[in-house]
A and B are shown apart, each in its own frame.
Chain A
Amino acid sequence: MLYREAGQFKATYAEDSQIFPIRQDRIGFWVLMLVFGVAVPLLTNEYWLKAILIPVLIFSLAAIGLNILTGYAGQLSLGSAAFMAVGAFAAYNFILRIEGMPFLVALVLAGVTAALVGILFGLPSLRIKGFYLAVATLAAQFFIVWALVKFPWFSNNSSSGVVTAQDVTILGYTFSTPEAKYVLTFLIVAFMALLAKNMVRSSTGRAWMAVRDMDVAAQVIGFRLMRTKLLAFAVSSFYCGVAGALYAYTYIGTVEPEGFNLDLSFKILFMIIIGGVGSIMGSFLGAAFIVLLPIFLDNFVPMIFGDALGAGFVSNFQLIVFGGLIIFFLIVEPHGLARLWQIAKEKLRLWPFPH
């Protein structure tokens, strides 16, 4: 009964095209922002920040990147992890090789580097679609990881390409505690999510969706297929690249190229399938779901069954649950958790008098 929009009239088109046109949603959004931006770093412990919240945020960003490419522009990609690797190693090299490089600038440059690589590997999308394109992006996945191991310059001649991220320092302040790293990650991810949302609700996003839904009609209306697809690849890779840099600098600290393998690409793909293809919020839900599920199962399964099943079973059980969930979502709700949330809200608007 609280979730009613009666009495909220939109008098201008600006009001009508807000991200959250309903007042309750706006309030809810700011409450969430305060909880995760202020309350969480003050109240939670180091384990939660380091093992759960920071990775959720970073994977959300990567999932937004993939969602822009696959969910909005309709170009299937299996190379997200490789673009993350480009971002991570680019940030490392920019900070290493350029004296006094500010961290945020390095982050943007890392994104731009990933975007350029993304454009390069996006070129095949002009001629091929669907599964065949996925295979072409698979080439990106293997080639980039191979190149990072093969040429020691990228990792400053360290053995097997392992690099240790430098300290994160902005304006003289070093982000060393988990709380500080969390807040930094939170601010960057929130800002970039806003930018992504703005892109997809304006002409850029409409171009992507038009190309996704029917490319011939999009062309007849005046969209340039090449420009639109390559822009999607560039923006998507930019997001993945920044996510990769954050992965190295605020999450793991020490990364190697092999860490950005195909498994990680698939993980990000599962995030958008479960969270919601073509939804910014879905990227967050999917990332949270995929990070939390194994932790939940690790604690939950032994709690019910005790030690009778053994540790080996628990880790395999995770895979079974993952597989099952992905099949479930693909069949029952291809638009994922974001769509379920939307349906719940529609129901809530009418509750408790649905007739």
Chain B
Amino acid sequence: MARQIGDVIVDLQNISLRFGGVKALTDISFNVREHEIRSIIGPNGAGKSSMLNVINGVYHPQEGQIFFKGALRKKMEPHEAAEQGIARTFQNIALFKGMTVLDNIMTGRNLKMKCNFLQHALYWGAAQKEEIAHRIKVEEVIEFLEIQDIRKTPVGRLPYGLQKRVELARALAAEPHILLLDEPMAGMNVEEKQDMCRFILDVNDHYGTTIVLIEHDMGVVMDISDRVVVLDYGKKIGDGEPDEVKNNPDVIKAYLGTTH
């Protein structure tokens, strides 16, 4: 592959997150480098999704620092994270059920659209041009993810696997620097998983998007990740390249298990 793994783009230092008395994350540090595929694995309740929520500003950790592109990040709201180029998909599909596939993906481009509601109301000149310019970008994503045939279908009517793909499309439409994927392959059959893996690798290769991935399918994780971080009960128990992690005794004990 031609892609070059670059410098550290997100650096998380000593992150701790509590909900009342429940410690979701305890003193976790790891980093993500530009253009890499970074996986987060661990048993249920290990704090993987919380980790993603910390990165894109849904949760604010009580302790620790986040450096984004080298700069210390202040407490930020999710829409600010989006403005800085962090997009994500959700574990439970978070599409806008009443809207068509096309409209859903168009929402991904909202931050790049500059017209106000009065211009939209007239739908003339600038507003229409803008709409069409973004439609062209969205159509590129639609083509990339091979969902041309369903673009006018309301997402509520689509099967699960396709909904996951539409959600990826919506995140991609924002042209993010970093893409956070929360279990993009959960509940899929083998073929759908293969497709999804191919799309993730293509995105990474074609757009150079940095990807942070949560996934339970170890075959997939070990195959496509550059580096893997392992969480257990909110603590980091392993970090490194797939082979390294695979042979880490703590990780085997907590999560991977052994064949008896």
Contact = CB atoms under 8 A, between A and B. Distances in A.
Interface of A: 12-14, 17, 195-196, 198-199, 201-207, 209-210, 212-214, 216-224, 231, 235, 278
B95 A217 contact: yes
> 10 closest Cβ contacts across the A-B interface?
A222-B82, A217-B94, A213-B96, A198-B123, A202-B120, A195-B121, A222-B111, A204-B117, A204-B120, A219-B78
Contact of B79 (A14, A203, A206, A224): A224
Interface in B3-61: 56, 58
7 contacts: A13-B136, A199-B121, A202-B115, A204-B120, A218-B96, A221-B174, A231-B117
Looking at chain B's contact residues, the main secondary structure is helix
Given A13-B139, A202-B127, A222-B83, 18 more contacts: A14-B132, A202-B120, A203-B106, A204-B120, A204-B121, A206-B103, A206-B106, A212-B96, A213-B95, A214-B95, A218-B107, A219-B78, A220-B79, A220-B81, A220-B82, A222-B79, A222-B110, A222-B174
Contact of A216 (B94, B106, B113, B122): B94
A279 to B, nearest CB: 11
A67 B83 CA distance: 30
B120 A198 contact: yes
Interface string B64-103: 0000000000000111011100011010001111110001
Looking at chain A's contact residues, the main secondary structure is helix
Contact of B110 (A196, A221, A235): A221
A9 to B, nearest CB: 15
Interface residues of B, number: 39
A212 B111 CA distance: 18
B108 interface: yes
A210 B107 contact: yes
A203 B110 CA distance: 7
B128 interface: yes
B79 A223 contact: yes
Nearest to B156: A213
A209 B98 contact: yes
Contact of B135 (A17, A198, A213): A17
A209 B103 CA distance: 10
A213 B98 contact: yes
Contacts of A216: 58, 94
A220 B108 contact: no
